[in-house]
Structure 1
Amino acid sequence: MVKKFSMLVVAGLIALPTLASAGGGKSNADLEQKIEELSRQLDELKAQMAKQNETITETSGKVDDMDTMLEEKSEQWDLASRFQFDGDFRARGDYYNASTVFAAGTPLFDGYDSLGNPQFRPAGGGQENDTIMTNRLRLNMRVKATENLEFKGRLAMYKAWGMQSTPDGLGGGFPVFDGNTTRTPDDSALYVDRAFVNWNNIGGAPVWFSIGRRPTTDGPPAQLRMGNEERMATPVAYMDYPFDGISLGYAYDWGTDALGEGRIRFCYGRGFENGLEDDTGASIDDTDFAGIDWDILKQGPRFLNLQSFGAFNLFNYPTFSSDLVNYGAPSEYGAQINLGNVYHTSAVYMDKINNLNYFIAGGWSRTDPNENGMFNDYTSATPKNTDAEDGYSVYAGVRYDLDNLGLKLGAEYNYGSQYWIAFSPGHDDLYMSKLATRGSAYELYMIYDLPTGEAISKYAQTFIRLGWQYYDYNYSGGFDWNLKPYDLDDEKMQMQMMGLDPVESANQVYLTFEAYF
């Protein structure tokens, strides 16, 4: 518009002589007046154009600043968007009632007095906790550093209501140690539960390398009874043990829809680090884990896994985080020593027919003790058991999904033999690991999806889980390779001499309120 106006003024100035000739009767004074008027208008026009140019320059600067700011913000948003966060919260209440081998008041050996006379204490006859409430919070994170390098981590808080330490009897009676931290209720701090880096597609091949705090808890088939549709960890649930280590894996495709895909991993980890050794030779060796985990096939819900590993230079007990610790070891347990090796193999097959999920699993364990022995019987004339002992377990379960009602109903059963060992200190059964049972364990449960509205997050799940567990022990112990697993019916005298009063049967009822976000 300004450009058009200025062109008209210039055209008018050019036409002035012509106008002057045409109007021959007009005086020179009139002509000069018109020229002055046009000159004034031209000056005003120049002033307006200069002001507009100034405004345009200022606006252009602001636009440039905005572009720079948006570029910076975009870069920040891009960096932030690389991080994926999700999590879950669980409130849980439990009722627990257990019967022990000996009736209340039965005298149990309790050591010797200063004169060498035996002392006795009365058996309690049972255990009970009518209510115990716990809160668990877990925060997951995932981020890619480069195209083929990603980090995954999880922080966890798990505590009992009204406590900033572990209540008596939880975690199978073990204090908190590296193999059950974040898995046994303790204080309200957030601890690193998982933290590892995956280097994928190494050399353009379906090969990966991973190192860090491993995803080794709540493995298959635990996702069924825990209300998750996805696999939550690498190893079969018989290996429920947080540890630090590495894995090297290879993925493949069977080339047929019936078998789907598979992957095999070599895994190594450290179960106990002794630190510096002294010159006396009294130090013990580090405990290491090594083995393979093989997803033989996976196609939809169909899944077959085989794992086999060894625990080498196994400790008699780990280093505890406890008020009872004295130089890294509770004194009542005696000195820390290496006992030898344990070998472990297990497998699980899972599938789904219409709305019926099912699985069957089995495990085998074998001890290879050194001169210190495993499963020792201190009531015997030769207490150190240096023989290899084999144990086994079978485990099966079903879950039927009533999708129209948002309801899932499940049942599970497992049996363990006398010398069965499950590596499951990180279990999620609050008191005793059911997969470590030497005898039978039963469980019935239901999961109900809460009508909390439309999901905001793709991770969203809200449900309650109600379950009942019944433990029926045939032999003493569980996750224990130190003492002989005594027959609860036929070896009561030996247990009485040892001062032992193990659980014979137990009922546990739990109710959870869970939100995944």
Structure 2
Amino acid sequence: MNKPLLLSLVTAALLGTTSLSADNTMYDRFQQMELQMKQMKQELDALKAEKAASAESADAEEADDEADDEADEDEEKVAVASKESADDEADDEDEDDEESIEDKVEELQENVAELNKNTNSNHLKFGVDYRFAIENLDYKMADGSKAKNDAFMTNRFWMNMSWAATENLSFHGQLAYNKAFGARSGASNPANASFETFDWVSNENAYDDKLRVRSVYFLYKDDEFAGADIPWTFSIGRRPSTNGHLINLRDDDHASSPMGHSINVEFDGLSAKFGLESLTGVDGMYVKFCAGRGMSNAAPKFTSTPYSSVDSSQGANPNIDLAGLIFVPYDNGQYSINTQYYYANNLIDAVNPQNQPQGFTTVGGMHSITANFIANGIGDGLSDFLDDTIFFVSGAMSITDPKKDQKMLDATAQDGESKTGYSYWVGTQFPSLISEEGRWGLEYNHGTQYWRSITYAEDTNIGSKVAARGDAYEAYFTEPLVDDIFSLQIRYTYIDYKYAGSNGFFGATSGDASEISSTMPGAANYVDKAQDIRFYLRYRY
């Protein structure tokens, strides 16, 4: 019998030592051993299935023989005896093959266990993601003046970590380094230095040469909840909350759970997800609850400044908390509908934004509602091009909830007056017509005067495009150069602001939505139009 057991020879070579080398990393060895175990188990299952089929065939033949004429009984007995003898030989051979594969699987499992013991963990994995980018940044101010940087260069490095301690419990983390070539950006503008290390964007800013924690959390998952057939997860820690749905397409990343149309910031918190597909019979239905803290009224031990609810100008910051849910009513893998709601409290505005000392004041809260439709492939077999084309449309609404004595987004509003803003966003990504693996993307989004997102961490150095109170246009081309390990991208982003404050805070100072014009007070400080041309090279493994 043909026995595809060459894997065992490879296994012996791989597992002859527990030391690690540059050509045989821990990650590689785990991956190879898991693959070999899977293939061997498939061989074992195939042998058992073949043996079962042989037994069924023998039973069927025996039943047919019993129905034959009794006159042929002696001849039948001779034939059956001969067949049984052949079957016994085949069974012996199958059993030997089966035992051989089972021995190899057991040996491989023992080696995996030994390696886990030496590393104090199960399934320890590391990954790296390095990106060099060069950008041409150009601004036209409201008074007609211009500002630019012809060659803004950055190094961005992510180090990914994961440990699967059990089938249900795992740990995930990511360290990040993001720095402009040649200098720390905050040193050139002391007036804005306090924003450079703002907790929402500490790893998205090209700032200093420190390695920071971008995300760190544990994840628990199970197939049942309270005895019901409801797959669920629970997680707590520093969230993977940037590069969410839709914005991840142009960033060539897997989507994190938030919808990038209305929230894209780093924060600390928790989430719990419940799959509803089995209960409802609707493809992909689930609900996910999220909560987090974006700023803390906290101080180091033994500080002379006590915790307080007063503004930072008097010694403390407010607690900014956010809670919401994501509900996906339908997702069959090709077409999906996604919705999101959150409420953020104690939102802030800058005090004396043009002068020092810099501080914050609490102005109120905000409701945010987002819904989108995604087609991951258009139609059913209409053409290879449409099968591999992604199309999406997204709409969002923000509703401010100001404190009774505060204004939000409008310096001319009455105290406590709420403002509602809207935004829509359409885009497509499709196969390249000039290369086999490349992807093109085209996107457009529009925001009204009082539109407000929390998307400061969006990977666009001229400011968040989906936060724009006005129009934003974007085109990009991504090309894999070496499999999915090494790639390049060229991206062009253009923003035409109609109203100020798109990337400010939430009050009537830095967040004021005044109409952009050459005659507005302080016109030289307001961006009218901005563009970013970016080229990057990226290594991921």
User: Do both share a fold (TM > 0.5)?
Assistant: yes
**Change in 2 beyond 3 A, CA 1:101/1:307:** same
Q: Is the 8 A contact 1:160 1:167 kept in 2?
A: no
User: What residue in structure 2 maps to residue 337 of structure 1?
Assistant: 361
Task: Could you tell me which runs of 5 or more consecutive residues in structure 1 were left unpaired when the two chains were aligned.
Answer: 1-68, 104-124, 319-323
**Map of 1:62-73 to 2, 5 A cutoff?**
73=114
User: What residue in structure 1 maps to residue 409 of structure 2?
Assistant: 375
1:244 and 2:268 aligned: yes
Matched residues in 2 for 1:92 and 1:344: separation?
A: 33
**Cα offset, 1:164, TM superposition:** 3.2
Q: Is the 8 A contact 1:218 1:237 kept in 2?
A: no
Match of 2:236 among 197, 211, 216: 211
User: What residue in structure 2 maps to residue 97 of structure 1?
Assistant: 138
Q: Deviations over 1:118-175 (max 9, x none)?
A: xxxxxxx1111000111111111111233322111111111111123447689x9942
User: What residue in structure 2 maps to residue 294 of structure 1?
Assistant: 327
**Cα offset, 1:317, TM superposition:** 4.4
Q: Which structure features the higher share of strand residues?
A: 1
**Change in 2 beyond 3 A, CA 1:278/1:340:** closer
**Cα offset, 1:348, TM superposition:** 2.1
- Alignment partner of 2:393: what SS? strand
User: What residue in structure 2 maps to residue 394 of structure 1?
Assistant: 424
Q: Deviations over 1:432-474 (max 9, x none)?
A: 1101111000011111121x3xx5xxxx432110011111111
Q: Is the 8 A contact 1:82 1:144 kept in 2?
A: yes
Supply the AA of the counterpart residue of 2:248: Q
Q: Is the 8 A contact 1:220 1:348 kept in 2?
A: no
User: What residue in structure 2 maps to residue 180 of structure 1?
Assistant: 201
Superposition TM-score, scaled by structure 2 size: 0.68
Supply the AA of the counterpart residue of 2:132: A
Q: Deviations over 1:330-375 (max 9, x none)?
A: 9636653211111111122211221211111111001111112212
Out of 267-276 and 408-417, give the one that drifted further: 267-276
1:505 and 2:529 aligned: yes
Q: Is the 8 A contact 1:216 1:235 kept in 2?
A: no
Q: Is the 8 A contact 1:166 1:185 kept in 2?
A: no
- Alignment partner of 2:262: what SS? coil
Q: Is the 8 A contact 1:216 1:240 kept in 2?
A: yes
**Map of 1:224-263 to 2, 5 A cutoff?**
224-228=249-253, 230-253=254-277, 260-263=283-286
- Alignment partner of 1:337: what SS? strand
1:419 and 2:450 aligned: yes
User: What residue in structure 2 maps to residue 7 of structure 1?
Assistant: none
**Change in 2 beyond 3 A, CA 1:145/1:385:** same
**Cα offset, 1:487, TM superposition:** 0.9
Q: Is the 8 A contact 1:376 1:385 kept in 2?
A: no
User: What residue in structure 2 maps to residue 153 of structure 1?
Assistant: 173
1:221 and 2:246 aligned: yes
**Cα offset, 1:406, TM superposition:** 1.8
User: What residue in structure 2 maps to residue 163 of structure 1?
Assistant: 183
**Change in 2 beyond 3 A, CA 1:211/1:252:** same
**Change in 2 beyond 3 A, CA 1:162/1:345:** same
Q: Is the 8 A contact 2:471 2:496 kept in 1?
A: yes
1:307 and 2:340 aligned: yes
**Change in 2 beyond 3 A, CA 1:485/1:392:** same
**Change in 2 beyond 3 A, CA 1:416/1:75:** closer
Matched residues in 2 for 1:396 and 1:137: separation?
A: 30
Matched residues in 1 for 2:471 and 2:188: separation?
A: 24
Match of 1:358 among 388, 391, 394: 391
* Percentage of matched positions with identical amino acids: 26
Q: Is the 8 A contact 1:398 1:411 kept in 2?
A: yes
Q: Which structure features the higher share of helix residues?
A: 2
1:438 and 2:458 aligned: no
- Alignment partner of 2:240: what SS? coil
- Alignment partner of 2:117: what SS? helix
Give the structure, 1 or 2, with the largest relative contact order (CA under 8 Å, sep 6 or more): 1
**Change in 2 beyond 3 A, CA 1:467/1:236:** closer
**Change in 2 beyond 3 A, CA 1:317/1:335:** closer
Q: Deviations over 1:450-501 (max 9, x none)?
A: 1x3xx5xxxx432110011111111111133223211113xx54x32x5663
**Map of 1:460-471 to 2, 5 A cutoff?**
460-471=484-495
Matched residues in 2 for 1:333 and 1:385: separation?
A: 25
Supply the AA of the counterpart residue of 1:448: E
**Cα offset, 1:214, TM superposition:** 0.8
Superposition TM-score, scaled by structure 1 size: 0.71
**Change in 2 beyond 3 A, CA 1:249/1:71:** closer
Matched residues in 2 for 1:83 and 1:196: separation?
A: 15
Supply the AA of the counterpart residue of 1:441: A
Task: Could you tell me which runs of 5 or more consecutive residues in structure 2 were left unpaired when the two chains were aligned.
Answer: 1-109, 299-305, 379-386
Q: Is the 8 A contact 2:347 2:363 kept in 1?
A: yes
Q: Is the 8 A contact 1:355 1:402 kept in 2?
A: no
**Change in 2 beyond 3 A, CA 1:73/1:146:** closer
Matched residues in 1 for 2:343 and 2:211: separation?
A: 31
Tell me how many residue pairs correspond in the alignment. 401
Q: Is the 8 A contact 2:122 2:164 kept in 1?
A: no
**Change in 2 beyond 3 A, CA 1:330/1:270:** farther
**Cα offset, 1:227, TM superposition:** 2.4
Q: Is the 8 A contact 1:217 1:427 kept in 2?
A: yes
The structure with the largest alpha-carbon Rg is 1
Out of 157-166 and 338-347, give the one that drifted further: 157-166
Matched residues in 1 for 2:269 and 2:309: separation?
A: 28
Matched residues in 2 for 1:301 and 1:462: separation?
A: 27
